[in-house]
Amino acid sequence: MRKTSRRSFLAAAVLGTAACRKDAGARLSLTGEEARTLDAICDVLIPADQDPGAAAAGAVVFIDRQLAGPYRRHLRAYREGLARTDSLSRKMFAKPLDQLAGEQRLRVVTSLEQGARPFFEMVLAHTMQGFYGSPRHGGNRDYASWRMLRVPASPVRGRITYDLRQGKGS
């Protein structure tokens, strides 16, 4: 009988738990339904044309990561706002937002803008941050917005990989 290492056991347990979740995925804060609703909102706010829109550029990944960290205080507002959006979509068109066509999505998001202004403005601001920000934070996948604007990708700033003092007889 082969002995299982602790590392292998923990990896299997984590993978097994994730596979059992209804909305299995790499999200940190949002449920699958919340992520799909937010993705549909982002798709309306910055739609794709000849260039990728916010949804394709990973704005939801950015927002999800931030809700697990610096934006944690907004998680409740997101949960309530996304539930309200889903409810509004079902009331207007008998379907969740992510299952609606473009014009119907626009109508739901326009109603959201008028009826839940603070939530709408927060999502709009975070969507723009995810779309235009640095890809290292989870959004702007493949530098989508920077390529659209013809802005060169900036190097990731961080630690210098060598010691500048070497050879100076420190």
Domain ranges (residues) in the chain: 26-144
Q: What is the pLDDT of residues 1-25, one digit of tens each?
A: 556 665 555 555 444 444 343 444 5
Q: What is the pLDDT of residues 98-129, one digit of tens each?
A: 999 989 999 999 999 999 999 999 999 999 88
C-alpha 69/C-alpha 73 separation (Å) is 9
Question: Closest Cα to residue 132, out of 72, 40, 25, 45?
Answer: 45
Q: How confident is the model at residue 170 (pLDDT cuts 50, 70, 90)?
A: very low
Please determine, for residue 164, whether its predicted confidence score (pLDDT) is greater than 90.
Answer: no
